[in-house]
Structure 1
């Protein structure tokens, strides 16, 4: 009888625990499950919030430091501005976490994009999620993007930034952030290409000097230097959210796999991922091999065609390609340009960038004719004037020994920049003089 009574009490406790769980949203329950408190056992959420140690002093220092960092990004024109894409990200973020964070946490979700070919995403204690054009371009489906965003929301929910914070390091690093911003500005000015195709978006490319603002030292000072345990914890919470909400259960594993492929491809280069920030080794296996998820290797699909996703990020694909081409990474730009052109919202710029990339990677007669066809498409799909189409045409016609066509293209190009004295137009003037002399 005593044994039966004990079993009954245990079952009653389990039942009450399950009942309490159903009273909370996914993210509230995650916070409850990961908070040490006597009240948790009784399911008293409000009392737990009241008694929780929120560490307001460090939280404020982190918020101030993050704001200073964001100001530096804006001063250096590092943000990628696309209101439609930004709104798309907000829609996804609020699908993932529709309810407010606890008032004591001082977290208000905010999404910003940066122009960087490096696939980056991180979040600050105040709720600002940063995602790079490189990350948006690396991912190939909406579910993969949602999995990555869910990871950042997991970090915020569990206050990983505040846990990882070092006040002394942050105070010391703020001056470094400002110094890095000045360094970027001076370097970008030295790289000014004048009246060229790159003017509008070249500044802000986080490659080379700009990578200082994405360095592990700077970001870890802002609370983004998670250890491996916190990284894996956020992965697992994101995986659980994806499965509970009937999203592709393999999306997070696919996204991590893409990061691993990227890291292998760029190891030893300026685009290399920081191992102590990404902890890519075993992360893929950590998700795939957990029995509770019931995933199998055959479910991984690395060659997806998500037209809806590519259409939503079409301009981002173009921008990231432009940054790659500006840094002479032509072969890397081509797959992204194919995705941009294959979407429902393509542009003349994407065709022009494809032509430039092919000119630097192909040379046969057939390739050159193909490039001319692509330049025709660039002109047809242009929403604004793209005079650089004519300089590209001229170069291809010169390859084909078609001097008259090359001359006509250069004259069109020179006419557009008649009052300009940049290196590009001075080159055009010299070529026009040479061709006129040779033809006559």
Structure 2
């Protein structure tokens, strides 16, 4: 009799649990679990009414985030690509297709920034920021979805609001943002010399990132999650991936990539902040949880996804351009190879690879390969790329082909002939040297 009673109770609880999981969406269920609400419609509505929504703090963080975004726009750090942006919107609304509770006042929005550092974070108002470095570091759509699901987990559980401290005010946050923007403006006003880099480098986060992406500034905006909240978002994203039949190893592969990036760039301008990323043990935190049933032997870096690389091809090119402008040539080449192998490649990707190879390769066969890349750049150019001729001239000089070098520099100089720029003066100087050398 006792056994039957126990079995009845067990079945009732099981059915109730199943009902709860089918009644609510994945994200609503996670909010219920986090807020300890009763798993029934009346309990959920009551929890919404009684939950402490911290409206004052929420308003401060919303307004501060808007101020920060406006400053980013003034600094021209956003990477504008409507096609890629639309692709990202499609993904975030696949992950979270329904509205957030009205009390949260969250409206999903996504923006890209020009930064070779792999960054992704979100503000309390629902704006997700992802860098060209992060998009380029990832190698599949599932990896990108896992990253976006983590940010949506932070938003769903109001981690930004929880991370807010009573010491912060609108005034102190504005002061922190102002300091970061001042230093970033100083960095971005530095003359980079060659106009080829100017439009994309000025306003990039490579030099300014130490301030605009600093842990202190982002913490003031509610993005300073502790390790517990970081792990919680990881685990929720992992559950969403598995429940929606996505690659269950995608998230751990992303964390593994971040670990590789961190170890490679430790002590440099590209170093990841441990206080923000908590790289140590994050990989193991997911791997060791029995409920995910992940097998270590199956965790491997997957082959490149051509469809994904096609979607982010221009992002790969821009990220490579930032690396080349900072003379980090060897790291630019793998990204350029991905851009070139995709189904959508621009002439600029070939040109950038030629520039990177010129600085890292020296044999005659390498120089011939660079000339071939420059021909590909001409064939695939959708805009004027006069720097193809300056690169051709330099390679022909290496090969002691003075006449070909002269022809290339003449074309380069003609393009800039109306400018009184360093670029035009340099081309004129090269032409004069070559004419003297070949007795013209």
- May I ask how many residue pairs the two structures share in their alignment? 438
CA distance in 2, matches of 1:272, 1:110: 27
Q: Relative to structure 1, is the Cα distance of residues 42 and 349 closer, same or farther in structure 2, using a 3 angstrom cutoff?
A: closer
Q: 1:277 matched to which residue of 2?
A: 276
Unmatched 5+ stretches in structure 1 = none
Deviation at residue 41 of structure 1 after TM alignment: 6.9
Deviation at residue 168 of structure 1 after TM alignment: 2.5
CA distance in 1, matches of 2:173, 2:20: 44
Deviations 1:160-204 (A, max 9, x none): 00000124235423212122212222322222425x211221112
Question: What is the TM-score with the length of structure 1 in the denominator?
Answer: 0.97
Deviations 1:216-266 (A, max 9, x none): 000011111101110000000000000000000000000110000000100
Q: 1:17 matched to which residue of 2?
A: 17
Deviates more, 1:330-339 or 1:3-12: 3-12
- What SS does structure 2 have at the residue aligned with 1:304? coil
- Contact kept, 8 Å, 1:34 with 1:158, in 2: the verdict is yes
Q: 2:263 matched to which residue of 1?
A: 264
- What SS does structure 2 have at the residue aligned with 1:197? helix
Q: 1:74 matched to which residue of 2?
A: 73
- Contact kept, 8 Å, 2:402 with 2:438, in 1: the verdict is yes
Q: Relative to structure 1, is the Cα distance of residues 437 and 162 closer, same or farther in structure 2, using a 3 angstrom cutoff?
A: same
CA distance in 2, matches of 1:91, 1:182: 35
CA distance in 1, matches of 2:422, 2:181: 28
Q: 2:31 matched to which residue of 1?
A: 31
Deviates more, 1:120-129 or 1:399-408: 399-408
- Contact kept, 8 Å, 2:188 with 2:207, in 1: the verdict is no
Deviation at residue 420 of structure 1 after TM alignment: 1.0
Q: 2:98 matched to which residue of 1?
A: 99
Computed over aligned residues only, the root mean square deviation of the Cα atoms, in angstroms, reads 1.4
CA distance in 2, matches of 1:9, 1:190: 71
- Contact kept, 8 Å, 1:310 with 1:340, in 2: the verdict is yes
CA distance in 1, matches of 2:166, 2:31: 24
Question: What is the TM-score with the length of structure 2 in the denominator?
Answer: 0.97
Q: 1:327 matched to which residue of 2?
A: 326
- Contact kept, 8 Å, 1:20 with 1:43, in 2: the verdict is no
- Contact kept, 8 Å, 1:65 with 1:170, in 2: the verdict is no
- What SS does structure 1 have at the residue aligned with 2:112? strand
Q: 1:253 matched to which residue of 2?
A: 252
- Contact kept, 8 Å, 1:184 with 1:210, in 2: the verdict is yes
Runs of 4+ in 1 over 3 A off after TM superposition: 1-7, 39-43
Deviations 1:301-356 (A, max 9, x none): 31422010000000000000000001111000000000000000001000000000
- Contact kept, 8 Å, 2:184 with 2:207, in 1: the verdict is no
Unmatched 5+ stretches in structure 2 = none
Q: Relative to structure 1, is the Cα distance of residues 205 and 170 closer, same or farther in structure 2, using a 3 angstrom cutoff?
A: farther
- Contact kept, 8 Å, 1:116 with 1:132, in 2: the verdict is yes
Deviations 1:260-295 (A, max 9, x none): 000010001010000010001111111112111111
CA distance in 1, matches of 2:12, 2:346: 63
CA distance in 2, matches of 1:98, 1:226: 25
CA distance in 1, matches of 2:219, 2:415: 48
